Amino acid sequence: MSHDKISAAARRRMAETGEPYAAARRAVIREYQAAGAGNPRPGTQWFAISFSDAGFDRLTLWLDTLSGGGPGRSGVEVGPDQIRVRMGGFRQDIPRSSVRSVGRFGGGAGGTTGVHASRGQLLVNGSTDDLVELEIDPPCYTGRTLSTMYIKQRVNSLVVSLDDPDGFIAAVQGDRTPKA
CATH code of the domain containing 73 = 2.30.29.30
Residues 104, 142, single domain; the answer is yes
Q: How many residues does the chain have?
A: 180
Q: Residue 33 has what pLDDT? A: 60
Q: What pTM, to 2 d.p., does this model score?
A: 0.68
Residue 180 covered by a domain: no
Convert the pLDDT of each residue in 136-171 to its tens digit: 999 998 877 666 667 788 999 999 999 899 999 999
Residues 56, 110, single domain; the answer is yes
Residues 69, 29, single domain; the answer is no
User: How far apart are the C-alpha atoms of 51 and 61, rounded to whole Å?
Assistant: 7
Residues in the chain predicted with pLDDT less than 50, given as ranges, are 36-38, 176-180
Residues 106, 123, single domain; the answer is yes
Query: CA distances (Å), 127 to each of 12, 34, 59, 84, in order?
Result: 36, 18, 12, 19
Residues 15, 95, single domain; the answer is no
Count of structural domains within the chain: 2
Residues 23, 53, single domain; the answer is no
**What residue numbers bound the domain in which 19 lies?**
1-34
Residues 8, 75, single domain; the answer is no
Q: Residue 2 has what pLDDT? A: 66
Residues 24, 47, single domain; the answer is no
